[in-house]
């Protein structure tokens, strides 16, 4: 186990360096503009480099997840589509259609369907029956785009996904599902080198690299695949469906709040703006690194609550309504955030002119 994880870690580093050169050669880079304030052209192949290693691991050990070759096919399609989007800016309608097709393949070939949502509303079990197919498609597309939307500052997407996969690995381990735990560990160790390079550690900004849509979409897809696999097996379920919300709380809350806010203002839910959580924290005067730490601590707390709730078998409906309440509070704060930040800046003595724009923000 130690040798294989070390191999994945080193392989990911080598893959990042290799694809970084490829990205520069084919001009697969992110250029600064009005919304993207990073320095210079940055390669957009972090996701491609990471998942080439993950796919290689899974090809060598297909028993680690169910329907491994189906996962490889679906994730591979999303990866290539993400690369094409990073290169040519594909229409979001085409990307949504492709994501729905991928979700259909998951359901009808892999038999991963959200039928059982557990005791969601009260002390009684709910089975969605045929409605589960529609809900599965919504969940898959939602998860893919939630992780894509959260990628706004250096290190954030990698760190949040690492927290989610680590929490999943803990739950799989506690349920003696060591194969699934191994796959989670593989994803985590393949992602850590990307986080280092994305933050410019230890080689500096010269070797900086971004995840790109290819990486963020495959991360979201992989998360939802494991969430369905871990919660829908009646005999070997590792956690209840509601716990999935807590393991990916920040991407879910931020995506739901952002989309609802944009629709309320009469804007397209897919049109980028500068009102995500990391934007708010930096408007309060935090640096991008400080905002990263705060958001990761929040995600860690939510994930820890989910793990503890599963271990101690807290009522599922209690966890559901707690999550809904947390999301509503998050939405209320984010809806009034500019008024709140003005008052907080005055109270904290923060001069608006002294605030620096984020290094990278495009969602």
Is beta strand 42-43 parallel, antiparallel or unpaired with respect to 126-127?
unpaired
CA angle, corner 124, sides to 123 and 125, nearest 5?
Answer: 130
What's the rounded Cα separation, in Å, for the pair 363 and 361?
A: 6
pLDDT, residue 276, reads 78
For residues 155, 161, 162, 164, the Cα torsion angle rounded to the nearest 10 degrees is: 140
Residue 231 preceded by cis peptide, ω within 30: no
Intra-chain end-to-end CA distance of the chain, in Å? 37
**pLDDT (tens digit, 9 = 90+) per residue, 64-114?**
998 999 999 999 999 999 999 999 888 889 999 999 999 999 999 999 999
Instruction: Look up residue 357 and give its DSSP letter.
Output: P
pLDDT, residue 40, reads 62
Is beta strand 29-30 parallel, antiparallel or unpaired with respect to 42-43?
antiparallel
Place of tokens 């730490």: 293
- Count of helices and strands (H, E) across the chain: 14, 4
What's the length of the chain? Answer: 363
Question: Residue 219 belongs to what H/E stretch?
Answer: helix 212-231
What's the rounded Cα separation, in Å, for the pair 363 and 209?
A: 17
Domain ranges of the chain: 2-354
Place of tokens 């880079």: 29
Sequential pLDDT tens for the chain (363 residues): 677 889 999 999 999 999 999 998 898 887 765 445 545 689 999 999 999 999 999 999 999 998 999 999 999 999 999 999 999 888 889 999 999 999 999 999 999 999 999 999 989 999 999 999 999 999 999 999 999 888 888 999 999 999 999 999 999 999 999 999 999 999 999 999 999 999 988 877 788 999 999 999 999 999 999 999 999 877 778 999 999 999 999 999 999 998 888 888 888 777 766 677 888 888 778 889 999 999 999 999 999 999 999 999 999 999 999 999 999 999 988 888 777 777 776 776 766 544 444 444 445
Q: 169, 185 in Cβ contact below 8 A?
A: yes
């Amino acid at each position: 186990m130690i040798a294989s994880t070390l191999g994945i870690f080193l392989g990911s580093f080598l893959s990042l360096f290799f694809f970084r050169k490829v990205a520069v050669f084919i001009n697969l880079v992110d250029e600064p503009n009005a919304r993207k304030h990073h320095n210079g052209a940055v390669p957009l192949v972090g996701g491609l480099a990471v998942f080439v290693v993950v796919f290689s691991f899974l090809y060598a050990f297909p028993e680690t997840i169910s329907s491994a070759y189906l996962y490889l096919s679906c994730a591979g399609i999303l990866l290539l589509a993400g690369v094409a989007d990073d290169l040519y800016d594909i229409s979001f309608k085409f990307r949504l259609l492709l994501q729905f097709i991928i979700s259909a393949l998951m359901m009808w070939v892999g038999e991963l369907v959200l039928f059982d949502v557990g005791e969601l509303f009260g002390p009684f079990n709910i089975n969605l029956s045929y409605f589960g197919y529609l809900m599965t498609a919504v969940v898959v597309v939602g998860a893919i785009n939630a992780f894509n939307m959260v990628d706004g500052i250096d290190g954030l997407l990698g760190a949040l996904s690492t927290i989610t996969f680590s929490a999943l690995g803990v739950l799989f381990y506690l349920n003696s599902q060591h194969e699934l735990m191994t796959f989670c560990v593989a994803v985590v160790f393949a992602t850590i080198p990307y986080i280092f390079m994305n933050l410019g550690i230890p080689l500096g900004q010269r070797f900086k690299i971004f995840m790109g849509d290819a990486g963020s979409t495959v991360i979201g897809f992989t998360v939802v695949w494991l969430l369905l696999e871990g919660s829908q097996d009646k005999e070997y379920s590792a956690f209840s469906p509601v716990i999935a919300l807590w393991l990916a709380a920040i991407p879910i809350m931020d995506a739901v709040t952002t989309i609802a806010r944009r629709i309320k203002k009469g804007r397209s839910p897919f049109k980028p703006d500068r009102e995500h959580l990391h934007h708010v924290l930096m408007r309060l005067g935090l640096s991008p690194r400080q905002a990263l730490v705060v958001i990761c601590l929040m995600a860690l707390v939510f994930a820890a609550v989910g793990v503890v709730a599963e271990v101690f078998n807290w009522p599922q409906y209690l966890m559901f309504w707690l999550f809904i309440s947390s999301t509503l509070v998050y939405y209320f704060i984010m809806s009034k955030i500019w008024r709140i930040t003005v008052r907080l800046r005055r109270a904290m003595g923060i001069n608006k002119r002294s605030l620096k724009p984020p290094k990278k923000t495009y969602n």
